[in-house]
Structures are given as C-alpha cells and as structure tokens.
Amino acid sequence: DGGITQSPKYLFRKEGQNVTLSCEQNLNHDAMYWYRQDPGQGLRLIYYSQIVNDFQKGDIAEGYSVSREKKESFPLTVTSAQKNPTAFYLCASSIHGNYGYTFGSGTRLTVV
Amino acid sequence: QKEVEQNSGPLSVPEGAIASLNCTYSDRGSQSFFWYRQYSGKSPELIMSIYSNGDKEDGRFTAQLNKASQYVSLLIRDSQPSDSATYLCAVLPAINAGNMLTFGGGTRLMVKP
C-alpha cells in the first residue's frame, strides 16, 4: 500500500540534544512538507521541498534543518537552537497542491 | 492578514443535526479547496475536495463553494458523536510559489449524544 510513514511516533529529547524525525513516502510524490502543531493550534510550516536536493524555509524554520537526498525521504532535525520544541510534528507529501496533501501519522516530540 | 479564516469553535450540535462549518479565503483567484478532518492526537485526513462553484456531495458530507463571495463550507448531515473532531479548511491560492496549500486554523466540532 502506498503511503507516508513517520517515525518514531513518540520522541523524547533532552535539553541541548539534536534529534531527527523520519519521513518516508512511497507515493512517488515530488513535494514534501514539515509542519508543527501545538495544542489547540493550526499547522505551521517549517520546511518544504518541491524536488530532490532542494528545499525552502517555511514560516518557522529557525532551530530546524532538513535534507532531501532522495525523492522518498525528507528527514527533519530539531536542533538545540530550537528552544521550545515540544509539539506534534506532521510530514506531508503531494504530487501537486491541486490534489491536496497526504499526511503521515505524526511524531510527538517532548523535551525532558 | 490571515489568508484562510475559520471560526475556531467549538461548534456544538446535537446528534442527528446538521453541522455547518464555514471558511473564508482572501485570494480571489484560488482554484482548489479541501476539507480535512483531524481527530484529537491524530493527523489530518482529507475528506472532501471541491474545485467549482456549487455543491459536492459524498455520503453525509456536502462541500459548498461560492467563489464570488470567497467562502467554502462543509455540511455534515445526521451528525454522529464520531464526527467530533477539528475540521481544517485548505486552499490552493492562485498566487503561489510551489503549489502549496494554505490552511485555516480549524474549527472544533462537538456532537453531543
């Protein structure tokens, strides 16, 4: 079955630690996105990529980094520079915005 | 100025009633419109898409689009407690770098038994 997989489902980060969230899709979608969602809030765009080896900052990119070395994969690293990383992180992909996005199941990150 | 606006709610309706969720957008040239359902703690799920003026029905769901007035709505007939969720409106603006959707903040729907 085609889909988009995020792992892990839950992640705990210590202060000052970098962590990487995985996002893999087998939908053959060109575009991939990372969003952050805080409790009771909407989606905020962190980074997006329209093509392999190219990505763009979204509205809240500070403290985050990404790579797009393969079409199927778009990992997100939450660096120690992100001072308030506790949130629900959603990865999405699309063949074209005109057809909507497919979302992964999300990763819940907590700072301990 | 937020480009896609939704009332955050909560919108509370009794079981069996019609729930009406509304969304307005600022880009008059927008062409594609989507409704996502998000249960608490889960990821958004696409439930409806609409591209032309008028109504589009799918089971108990009806999406309505009025481009002249720049609003899109979602009607849920015979609402069930399982419909309790946050509903996100998403729009593909005409002026767009990268064919990216703009999301509203979502409306929380509560269906009471």
Q: pLDDT tens digits for chain B (113 residues)?
A: 559 999 999 999 999 999 999 999 999 989 899 999 999 999 999 999 999 999 999 999 999 999 999 999 999 999 999 999 999 999 998 766 567 899 999 999 999 99
Which member of A97, A106, A108 has the closest CB to residue B92? A97
Burial of A27 (0-12, 13-18, 19+ CB in 10 A): middle
d(CA B45, CA B86): 11
Q: Residues 42..81 of A with a Cβ closer than 8 Å to B: which?
A: 42-43, 45, 48, 50, 56
pLDDT at residue B73 in the model: 98
Question: A83 falls in which pLDDT band (50, 70, 90)?
Answer: confident
pLDDT at residue B94 in the model: 78
Our CA-based measurement puts residue A81 at a distance from the nearest CA of chain B, in whole angstroms, of: 26
CB hemisphere CA count around A15 (13 angstroms): 0
pLDDT over 90 (residue A15): no
Which member of A90, A94, A99 has the closest CB to residue B43? A90
Average pLDDT for chain B: 94
Chosen from A103, A107, A110 to mutate, greatest number of chain B CBs within 10 A: A103
Stretch A80-95: mean pLDDT: 93
pLDDT at residue B98 in the model: 65
Q: Enumerate the residues of chain B whose CB falls inside 8 A of the CB of residue A10.
A: none
d(CA B41, CA A39): 9
